[in-house]
């Protein structure tokens, strides 16, 4: 599991939102030393929303105290409403009110200042892992819903010929029952002859049914 978490650092783009320039540069250097790509740094929530939506990084590290009219929590909530990107909060504050606001935005991580490099890297890798798992879950749900929709196509009324038993599709073409069902589901057909048809088609074959 550790290997899966750590192997793709060079492919990971991280966006930093930090209002103190020197701290932002220290974080940039640290992240790049780990092999991550820093794709942008801004100091206000307004800039963060605009830039992240345009750049679409793999991860955002968001300081809570920022320049501008909105803080990091408000910026993160707006970013998450626009695009699916994991956000890790970075802050020196840890009071109950702040924690409740943070939880409401469903963050992927939370780091208290001052932090060390190991703590930062673990938080990043866990956030990226959780994001991959969540997106895979969403993909599987979408696949299941698509499969269910295909099955439900056969649950409505089907125009069928009273004589030859062919079915008319939504484009107006008539198909054999087997062809229609196979093209609209995962079912496959194997053919046999029922007892009633066997009597009509092969009357010379003795019926082994003891009740006859």
The domain ranges of the chain are 2-137, 155-201
pLDDT at residue 2, as a whole number:
42
Q: Calculate mean pLDDT across residues 19-34.
A: 93
pTM of the model: 0.63
> Tens digit of pLDDT for each residue in 117-165?
888 999 999 999 999 998 888 888 888 887 777 665 556 667 888 788 7
- Report helix, strand or coil for 136: helix
- Say how many CA atoms lie within 13 Å of 167 toward its Cβ: 15
Higher-confidence residue of 194 and 64: namely 64
CA distances from 47 to 67, 70, 98, 167, 193 (A): 10, 10, 22, 58, 72
User: CATH number of the domain at 2-137, please?
Assistant: 3.40.50.2300
Instruction: Kindly provide the b/e burial profile for residues 131-145, where b requires at least 16 CB atoms within 10 angstroms of the residue's own CB.
Output: beeeeeeeeeeeeee
How many helices (H) and strands (E) in the chain? 8, 7
pLDDT at residue 180, as a whole number:
77
**Contact between 57 and 39 (Cβ < 8 Å):** yes
Assess whether pLDDT exceeds 60 at residue 211. no
Assess whether pLDDT exceeds 80 at residue 86. yes
CA distances from 91 to 26, 35, 94, 105, 122 (A): 15, 24, 8, 15, 17
pLDDT at residue 148, as a whole number:
72
Residues 6+ apart with CB under 8 A from 190: none
Percent of the chain at pLDDT above 90?
Answer: 39
Residue 5: pLDDT band (50, 70, 90) is: very low
């Amino acid at each position: 599991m550790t290997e899966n978490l750590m192997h793709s650092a060079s492919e990971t783009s991280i966006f930093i939102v930090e209002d103190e320039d020197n701290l932002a540069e220290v974080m940039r250097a640290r992240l790049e030393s780990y092999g991550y790509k820093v794709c942008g740094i801004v100091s206000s929530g307004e800039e963060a929303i605009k830039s992240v939506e345009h750049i679409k990084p793999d991860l955002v590290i968001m300081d809570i105290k920022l320049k501008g009219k909105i803080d990091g929590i408000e910026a993160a909530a707006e970013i998450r409403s626009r695009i699916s990107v994991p956000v890790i909060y970075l802050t020196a504050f840890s009071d109950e009110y702040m924690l409740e606001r943070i939880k409401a935005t469903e963050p992927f991580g939370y780091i208290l200042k001052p932090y060390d490099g190991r703590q930062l890297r673990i938080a990043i890798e866990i956030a990226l892992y959780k994001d991959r798992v969540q997106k895979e879950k969403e993909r599987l749900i979408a696949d299941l819903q698509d499969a269910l929709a295909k099955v439900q196509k056969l649950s409505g009324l089907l125009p069928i010929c009273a004589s030859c038993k062919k079915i008319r599709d939504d484009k107006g073409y008539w198909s054999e029952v087997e062809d229609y069902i196979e093209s609209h589901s995962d079912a496959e057909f194997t053919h046999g002859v029922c007892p009633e048809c066997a009597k009509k088609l092969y009357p010379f074959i003795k019926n082994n049914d003891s009740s006859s």
